[in-house]
Amino acid sequence: MPVHVLLFDAGSDSEGIHSLEVSGRTVVLLFEDRDDAERYAGLLEAQDFPMPTVDEIDRDEMERFCSQAGYEARFVPAGFLPQSAEDRLMIAPPEQNLDISDWKDQAEAGVRGQSPASGDGTEAEERQTRTGEPITSTDPALEAFRRQLEGLL
């Protein structure tokens, strides 16, 4: 059965797979529905990530890769409805993300990344995390802008 994953710099030496850090685990999302994967990719791009490519891969192959790399493969069925805060990460990226420049720097330097997409040390990953704490600022203008953005959601 095919699933859809999000790849960054697909086909290049620095190709990476999108993953999440959830409770100390690295989670790779396996979308059943291509439209769900493309929507998630668009949400990442809206957060100033590079636009990922949606790639179709055999589910068994992807689960084997994740297992060998020490990742958790999380299947996102079509029409998935979240039941918890952790589940919501499967349909929308977290608000707070880790810096994305590190994985490209590691790939360019030939350094084995923590989470290479192929396991051969030439690819790296996108990682993101959510603390669950609201982002606050002491700058009133920035805080007002943040509230406006939250109002849009």
What is the tens place of the pLDDT at every residue in 49-82? 888 999 999 999 999 999 999 999 999 999 888 8
Which pLDDT score, from 0 to 100, does residue 6 have?
94
Which pLDDT score, from 0 to 100, does residue 10 have?
86
Distance CA 123, CA 117 (A): 6
Chain CA centroid to CA 57, Å: 16
Which pLDDT score, from 0 to 100, does residue 34 have?
96
Q: Which stretches of the chain drop beneath a pLDDT of 70?
A: 95-143, 146, 148, 150-153
- Asked if residues 28 and 85 have their Cβ atoms less than 8 Å apart, the reply is no
The residue extents of the domains of the chain are 2-152
Which pLDDT score, from 0 to 100, does residue 96 have?
54
